[in-house]
A and B are shown apart, each in its own frame.
Chain A
Amino acid sequence: MNSPNEHPQAADQGEAHLRSILATVPDAMVVINEAGSILSFSAAAEKMFGYTEAEVVGENVSLLMPSPDRERHDGYLEHYRQTGERKIIGIGRVTTALHRDGYTFPIELSIGEAWLGERRIFTGFIHDITQRQQTDVRLRDLQGELAHVGRVSEMGTLASSLAHELNQPLTAITNYCEAARDLLNEAATPEVLAMVREALDEAAQQSLRAGEIVKRLREFISRGEIERHRESLPRLITEANALALVGSREHGIEVQVELDPTADDVLADRIQIQQVLVNLIRNGIDAMIESDLRVLTIRTESKDERLVLVSVEDTGSGISEDFAAQLFQPFVTSKKTGMGIGLSICRTIVEAHGGHIWFEPHPDGGTIFKFTLPKPGPT
């Protein structure tokens, strides 16, 4: 049986051992209470965020988050306290964090929950994925682009059969319209007018059929069937931001996100719209690398009762007129690497969602890419 004097020593040794482990864990560790106040901040967290532990203890953890997460975090904690519904605790999430110097960087966040007596605490382990995932993300992108090119090549083999399919309704439309024109050269009797009307009805039917063929073609190009669900636009943007910022930390990009609270929900295929956002954000970052001002601004705006407008604005040197005309065509690029099909994929995806994508020059230089997405219908 152990003597009572051995327990305090064992407890001290245990705590010292735990502290030494925590001090060497490469991931940043931040412990907060139920109100979101920082209780402890590891050495790795100090290095990651640019604050000392003494400076942040007692501050709200939202200090480490960019908008919109910063102003929503207290609400997330309150929601969890009231409902116990876990959206990130024990699940993990890729998101973005805010450095003291004002730039955002992508992180992988894991959160655990514990009770110290009656006091609940949350421990966040934060992994800066800027470097580690750079190769993985780029590889995934390349695989995706190659698969898309593969489908476009497949399109080449399907082109002849589709041309044949389209040729039929187009020929029929021509024939019916010519017949209607020839009939109108005769006297406009009720019988003649009835025949003209019938010819034009048939022409209209054939044009609808041609439209269906084109629609099937576009769905094929956009990587198969789109699955659209009600999605949170701020969440899509945060996650796309995190993926797009991988590999960009040394460029010190300042990301500003300005959200219209009436444009929170969209009807979208989450993966595909994230792909559009990642593409536009990466293009914006690439455009600014040589600029002395590197600010990327992402805005959402409710356009009307049906549509949301998303814009991605950079402070680069703008797009030359030579490229502007062909920017959304495949295999057109000003970059040294890449196949130049990113924007053509973006256009296919956005248009498959019923939206439009375009760009405008920024009055101060730089470029603003804009696209629209549908809102969910009334539930």
Chain B
Amino acid sequence: MAQKLAMSWKSIRLELARTGAFPAGSVSRAFLLRLPLTDTGAIDWDQVSTHPSRATVRRFWGSEPDRRGIIKRNDKGWAVKESLNGGGSMFQMRPQPIRLGEEVEVTLADGDSLPFKVARINAS
């Protein structure tokens, strides 16, 4: 059982998809999420609540330093905070399936909503 639970945790790479500023998208603007996913691409929030510090995000943005955050559920879906006990917000996502090759919409801290492609999903 523990092994099955561990296997549902995934490393998910979101990369900036086509935008006005980046017509071909950008692989250097990416988020690496660690989340437990069901077979349909939904987040298993029961597991997140059991291991809250494991649901993490790393942000890669051009030549900027890495930023890290913790994923927390909220009334709009889920958000990434810079620490477990609050801290600045990194981005917000509304509930949407996370499936390889598809796009998801991410609302950044500055309010911009950008499309990101689900580029890779690996076992974490």
Are A101's CB and B120's CB within 8 A? yes
With A67-B66, A74-B63, A364-B53 already in contact, the answer to whether A59 and B28 are too (CB < 8 A) is: yes
Nearest B residue to A70 by beta-carbon distance?
Answer: B63
Q: B58: which A residues are within 8 A, CB to CB?
A: 102, 256
B45-72 contact mask (Cβ, 8 Å, vs A): 1 or 0: 0000000011000101011111010000
- State whether B63 touches A60 (Cβ < 8 A): yes
| Chain A 253-297 residues near chain B, CB threshold 8 A | 256, 292-293
**Also in contact, A60 and B62, with CB within 8 A (given A293-B54, A364-B53):** yes
Give the Cβ gap from B12 to chain A, nearest Cβ, in Å: 10
How far apart are B29's CB and chain A's nearest CB, in angstroms? Answer: 9
Q: Are B27 and A56 in contact (CB under 8 A)?
A: yes
A71 beta carbon closer than 8 Å to chain B: yes
Contact status of A100 and B13, CB under 8 A, knowing A59-B28, A63-B27, A364-B53: yes
> How many residues of chain B are within 8 Å of chain A by beta carbon?
23
Contacts of B53 in A (CB 8 A): 364
B32 within 8 A of A: yes
Is residue A93 contacting chain B, with contact meaning CB distance below 8 A?
A: no
Residues of chain A lying within 8 A (CB to CB) of residue B68: 256
Q: For chain B, residues 1 to 36, give those with C-beta under 8 angstroms from any C-beta of chain A.
A: 6, 9, 11, 13, 24, 26-28, 32
Nearest 8 pairs between A and B by C-beta? A292-B6, A63-B28, A71-B65, A62-B63, A67-B66, A102-B32, A59-B28, A55-B27
Chain B contacts to A: CB under 8 angstroms: 6, 9, 11, 13, 24, 26-28, 32, 53-54, 58, 60, 62-66, 68, 119-120, 122, 124
